A and B are shown apart, each in its own frame.
Chain A
Amino acid sequence: MSYVYTVARLRGMENHILDSAFFSRLMDSAGIDDAVKALGETSYSQWISGNNFDKAIDSEILATCEELERFVPDKGLVAIFRLPYDFHNVKVLLKGLFKVRGGEAEGRRYDLLSKLGTIDTDELTNAIETEEYGFLPYGLTDLIPQCWQLWDASKNAQAVELLIDHQMFRAMLDVAGSLNMPEVLRWVRCKIDAENLRSAVRLGRMNYDPAKALPFFHEGGNLRPDDVAKLLAEPQETWSRILSYTDIGGVLGALGDSGDMKAALSDVSKALDDYLVKVLEGAKYSMDAPENVLLFLLTKEAEARNMRVALVCVAGGLDREFGRRLLTSGRQ
């Protein structure tokens, strides 16, 4: 099937994406019952049973991915979106096994596994627990034994997580490269930059030693990890100016504007998410650009994120204004 068909179908599907007015109404709900009633008009209603909203939101995203896989000519476009969930599952399983080996009988947390990955969670669990990694894609065959070696040598779960993240971005670059779509490859590079800057902001707030920060940053982005690590030696208010020669530099403006650390962190995180959507937004004006698939999935993911924020605020009786601030742009 051609991308003309694919993009046209996505345009039709975009009509079902919830807009900011809906989330504003959801935020105004008096309680969780009202919020569930509001969700009754949406595609999420088919997945809601009881108060397990996380599961309902994941089910909606999974159904969207599976629907797209049926008609998108290059399955790799959906795989790029789903691949981080595979690596999330690997982290969950390995951390569980680390705890079990450390003597915690209840270390396994299967409830944290996400169905959104491309590898069936049962198969992945079985592969990792039986140490039969041969069939696993995305370099996991070599990665998992390396994780075990690192764990045995250091007992450092954070270092293992970073090793997994490095491989995740390498795998994303490989999949994007194999698609032969320059804009998708550019998006993956921007995503690596965004993730590196997100880490840098967090490390900066912790006053982390710049000399030891390099392992936290991933290769493959437009910014060299060395250059991102050097930012830590400078005041955060100046980062936007230092990176003014890049597209992503402006996103860090929020660091200089706000004196409130918590708000600044959430603003930067939100701005980075919005930036990653903006990178692909040129595709909106093309009737057959494959990047529209990724753009749609990101918009759907933003919708799911907004849904999570709104429901947590309503269910937990949290500050609605702060919640509104966390909502990403999503569908206009």
Chain B
Amino acid sequence: MELLGLSLALFGAALAAALAGIGSAIGIGVAGGAAAGVMTEDPNKFGSCLILQALPGTQGIYGLLIAFFVLNKIGLLGGAGAVALNWNQGLQIFASCLPIALVGWYSAIWQGRTSAASIQMIAKKPEAMGKAIILPAMVETYAVLALLTSILMLMGVQVG
């Protein structure tokens, strides 16, 4: 049963990094398509497009952060060896990873779409760059909330 707990915790960490990372990759890809279209007509917009394209990348970073947090919690970082986890503790860690895994995955895709729309907006109105950043940043709010939830839940899990 000790191995089951560890496996569940690792599975949670893997999901947090993988799903949020996949979402970010898709979101950045969508925004990148729009950026390429705009820059074909006006290469001078590279700077603005890059900022907007990078926004959906944060979810992948949040997922990675939670994965590190879990690895640290179960003792797999630092070389001290894994701590003993029962299946119940493993399940708690797994559940803690779910907010950022699911919200990160989904919000990154939608943030990518919003970023693409914002990139199209600055193609016509470059002076609206400030507003263009705020719109996709609103989606970010929910990724940050999910990150906080995952961190708070992980901090509440007692191991060792």
Contacts and interface: CB of A to CB of B under 8 A. Distances in A.
Interface in B8-56: 30, 33-38, 40-42
B42 to A, nearest CB: 6
Contacts of A4: 30, 33-34, 37, 116
A14 interface: yes
A8 B124 contact: no
A12 interface: yes
Contacts of B120: 7-8, 11, 287
A5 interface: yes
B130 to A, nearest CB: 18
B113 A8 contact: no
A8 B33 contact: yes
A13 interface: yes
In which size bucket is the chain B interface? 10 to 19
Contacts of A9: 37-38, 40-41
A8 B36 CA distance: 8
A301 to B, nearest CB: 20
B42 A8 contact: no
B64 interface: no
A287 B113 contact: yes
Contact of B33 (A2, A10, A12): A2
A11 B116 contact: no
A289 to B, nearest CB: 11
Interface in A287-311: 287-288
Contact of A287 (B40, B42, B116, B124): B116
A15 interface: yes
Nearest to A287: B117
B119 interface: yes
Interface of A is mostly: helix
Nearest to A15: B124
B124 A7 contact: no
Which of B33, B35, B117 gathers the greatest number of chain A CB atoms within 10 Å? B33
A112 to B, nearest CB: 34
A89 interface: no
Given A11-B120, A14-B124, A287-B117, A5 B33 contact: yes
A236 interface: no
A196 interface: no
Contacts of B117: 287
A6 B108 CA distance: 22
Contacts of A11: 37-38, 120, 123-124
14 contacts: A4-B30, A4-B33, A5-B37, A7-B34, A8-B33, A8-B119, A8-B123, A9-B38, A11-B37, A11-B38, A11-B124, A12-B40, A14-B124, A287-B116
